[in-house]
Structure 1
Amino acid sequence: MTRTHMVVLPGGGYAEHAAHEAEPVVAWLGGIGVQASVFRYPLHARHPQPLKALRAEIRRLRAAGARRVGLIGFSAGGHLAGLAALAPGAAPEETVDFAVLGYAITSMETETYRPSRLILLGEDASAELRRSTSLDALVTPDAPPFFLWHTAEDPYVPADHTYRLASALAAGRVPHTAHVFAHGPHSLGLARDAGEAAIWTTLAEAWIYEQA
């Protein structure tokens, strides 16, 4: 996997970058033999600024020799990862080969986790804009493989976000796996000492090896 690179996108509601979802995730990936780096995308920025910045980073990595580029994002970082993987308009050198999304915001059409939507889209976002930034509405049969995980108890980003995306991936016959663990709060990161949810890294490791 020497020519596979994973980009880590920490969460934080598009208002901050959660430290425990950044370098510790790079360290975990390095420990399983996957080259990775954190990308701190623009905060308090309107769409499509964060997406454009991430696509520029993907271009940079490919120019530096990465053959395959995967994304791993958490919460709002998961939303951005999904946009980069699914939104139309990416140049060939900006494509995403696979994506891992942890307790991601996937829909801008629901009223859950409204603060992120207001930062990214504004108070008066049209129905069209909200739909065009909702991952489940962007899935096509050409979408890359996804690994999704969430907890059923998440009080901030309900597991429905993962169910919506998983259903769309299934309908599009896109390769994917989805794990929803019974217990655990939002923002678990690597979820060490978090009960059953702690196994997500083991499951993801095997899946990443299949993709890379």
Structure 2
Amino acid sequence: MTSAAGQTPRALTVIPAVGRSTGASPAVLVLPGGGYAKQADHEAEPVAEWLASLGIHAFVLRYPVAPHRHPAPLATTKQALIWIRDGNHGLNVDPARVGVLGFSAGGHLASTLSVGVLTGDPGLDIDASVPDLSILCYPVISFVDSVHQGSVDNLAGVGATPEVLRELSTELHVTPDAPPAFLWHTADDESVPVSHSLAYAGALSRAGVSVELHVFPNGVHGIGLATGTPGADQWTVLCAEWLHRMGWAV
């Protein structure tokens, strides 16, 4: 992931914002899903292009997956977010408006970033590695309740201890310092139950953190932009409105 100043790290794809004439633009780091086993292409560049159309610089990260274990994906993601905020890419990014968007296991990674799960590297476990907002799309959240076993095994390893599983259950680590969040899920998701989004949204609400949650009746897991899925296909409209209210979208 390391790169010289001004060079894009090999794991990142950059899609600059459109529609802004002056001033610094917000940026969002996009984390595709794939159960910590692969990267789902339809949750990557197409999503970044949608963000760019809202006037937001988008950076797609291909983070490490199995056989790499925790904290490798999180360490790479923190490094990427710090790099985006530092501005060595040459884009005019507002360092106070750098967010994260993740799908499924990428949503879990985004939430670990948001609640400050540690990597053990003091150079990465700093405030600059915490996003200013998060967008979580049918995210994996809990490693202890209604788990997505593939994500658990690929990230924590088969037979991980209860302590490790609790460490990676992000609903257990929300504090008032967590960033505002937009979440969406489908009620009939059979791969990652909607209880994951409900648990994280509930934890944010109890901590006094601003959160918006949308649960749509139907839609299989992994639908990305959800084109062609009635109801769930409105998530991009709702999220764009949320981003506009947050002062991020044009």
**TM exceeds 0.5?**
yes
Matched to 2:45, the amino acid is: E
The equivalent position to 1:58 in structure 2, one of 68, 75, 81, is: 81
Question: CA offset at residue 30 of structure 1?
Answer: 1.2
Matched to 1:79, the amino acid is: H
The equivalent position to 2:70 in structure 1, one of 47, 51, 58, is: 47
Question: CA offset at residue 34 of structure 1?
Answer: 1.3
Corresponding residue of 2:37: 15
Q: TM-score, normalised by structure 2?
A: 0.82
What's the RMSD between the two structures over aligned residues? 1.3
Matched to 1:23, the amino acid is: E
Question: CA offset at residue 210 of structure 1?
Answer: 2.8
- Pairing 1:2-151 to 2, within 5 Å after superposition: 2-44=24-66, 45-64=68-87, 66=93, 67=95, 68-89=97-118, 90-151=125-186
Q: Which ranges in structure 1 are unaligned for 5 or more consecutive residues? A: none
SS of 1:42's partner is: coil
Question: CA offset at residue 11 of structure 1?
Answer: 0.3
CA distance in 1 between partners of 2:167 and 2:185 (Å)? 23
The equivalent position to 2:213 in structure 1, one of 157, 178, 181, is: 178
Q: TM-score, normalised by structure 1?
A: 0.96
Name which one, 1 or 2, has greater alpha-carbon Rg: 2
Paired-residue identity, %? 41
Question: CA offset at residue 111 of structure 1?
Answer: 4.4
Matched to 2:99, the amino acid is: G
CA distance in 1 between partners of 2:244 and 2:27 (Å)? 12
SS of 2:35's partner is: coil
Structure with the higher helix share, 1 or 2: 1
Q: Which ranges in structure 2 are unaligned for 5 or more consecutive residues? A: 1-19, 119-124
Maintained 8 Å contact 1:14/1:119? yes
Matched to 1:49, the amino acid is: A
CA distance in 1 between partners of 2:170 and 2:243 (Å)? 21
CA distance in 1 between partners of 2:167 and 2:193 (Å)? 20
CA distance in 1 between partners of 2:74 and 2:181 (Å)? 18
How many residue pairs are counted as aligned between the two chains?
212
CA distance in 2 between partners of 1:38 and 1:174 (Å)? 26
